[in-house]
Every structure is written in C-alpha cells, then in structure tokens.
Amino acid sequence: MKLDNRVAIVTGAGSGIGRAMATLFAAEGARVVVADIVAERVDETVAAIRTAGGEATGFVGDVSSPEDVARMIDLASETYGRLDILCNNAGIMDRMAPAADVPLDLWERVLRINLTGPFLACRKAIPLMRAQGGGVILNTASVAGLHGGRAGAAYTASKHGVIGLTRNIAYMYATEGIRCNAICPGGTETAIGLGGEPNEFGLNRMQLGAASMPRTGKPEEIARVALHLVSDDSSFVNGAVVVVDGGWSAY
C-alpha cells in the first residue's frame, strides 16, 4: 500500500483521469476528498471507492472560486486532520479556437479553471503542508503545455502556465518538504470533449499533428503514473514534467 495514512484531494475526480486517480489512490490506502463541480459524478466516485473498501469524502464546488477552494482544503483538514497530496486535475477544453477567434469570455473561463484553479488550491494548501512538515502537489498539465499544436490558444496558454507554476512551486518550497510535479497526458479516453462546437480552422490545423498519435491512452494508465509521482517512490522527483502520451511527442 503506497499511500497508507495519506490524505489526498483530487479535483475533477467525477470522471476520466480524476476518477481513475481517486480510486487508485484509495485502493493504495489514501483517504480521498473527491472534488468535482457535478454532484452526481462526485457521488458515483465516492460510492465506487467505498464499495471497494476505501475511504472517501465528496466535495462539490468550482475550482475557479476562491471560496469553494478554501472550503475544499478545509474539508480535507477538518475531516482527516491533514493534507498530504493535492492533485489539481480539473480542466476544460477551448473548442480548438486559434487566437484570432477566441471570445474573451472563453479565454477567461479556460484560464480561470485550468490555471487560476490550481494556483488557488496550491496557495491554500501550501501553508498546511509547510506546517505539517511536507506534502506533494501534482498538477495535470498536458502535452499542449509543451507544444503549440495540440489545442486552441486558451487551453495551450493555460497548460503552459500550469507547467510554469509547477516549476516555481517546486523550487520555492523544495527545502520545506514539499514536492510539486506535473503530468502531461496525451490523447486520453475521457469525456472532456472539445468544450463546445469546434472551431473548424483550429481543429483542422490540430488534426495534422493528431494523425501521428500512436493511440489514445486509458485514464488508468495516466493514474498509475500519477500514483508513482505522489508516492514515496518518487521522493527525489521535484519540479518534473512527466509526459504520458504513448510516444506522441517523440515524433
């Protein structure tokens, strides 16, 4: 059991990669706060964990809301007495819209959820982790955070930002017992969708590179890498950006 007696928060845990992380972490002994904006999905993930013999508490909220994020972190601390693992996984897509076609409200929404959300959670969690002597943060970035042709302008910018935030936190708090890494999935079998009706020009440009994708991954494949990064098996891994894309970026 790699995560015995650990307390973990996983955002976006109602489906896809987040659900796979939450259920795997619980199977490895963690007590998990399952966070998502959709109550029904939260209930489904919590039920799956409990049915398998794990321990979980649900939280319904918006990661782009400072008030909701504060309540989420407080729930973990008040329910379980500490916070060892924070997985900032919640995110949305941007319809593959290139810069000239991105409505301002879409830009702001994508940045709020994909980048401001992880920042808010880290800002709230880090003082708790420092006080208890350490902790682990794992941010879900994307291969779009490393390249320019995997999504639209807003999503690409947000995931580049997540990687910058990850590296800054890793350096700043390395002497405080806090590790912070990012995972960069490639195409994965989830329900995230494109975020709405796709921009035809942007989608056509993106698909030129998508043709080189060896295959799509399964959420469980991403979760197994995440488990390694939040466990003591990676105790000397800090500030890393780990690509999990089946070799897509190798092209």
Catalytic positions, please? Answer: 155
Between the alpha carbon of residue 213 and those of residues 208, 216, 225, 250, the distances in Å are 10, 7, 19, 10
Phi-psi region of 179 (alpha: psi -120 to 50; beta: other; left: phi over 0): beta
SS (H, E, C) 159-228: HHHHHHHHHHHHHHCHHHCEEEEEEEECCECCCCCCCCCCCHHHHHHHHHHHCCCCCCECHHHHHHHHHH
**Six-digit token pair at 105?**
């409200």
Q: How many C-beta neighbours within 10 Å does residue 40 have? A: 9
Host H or E run for residue 107: helix 104-111
One-letter amino acid at 101 equals D
Task: Give CA 6 to chain center in angstroms.
Answer: 18
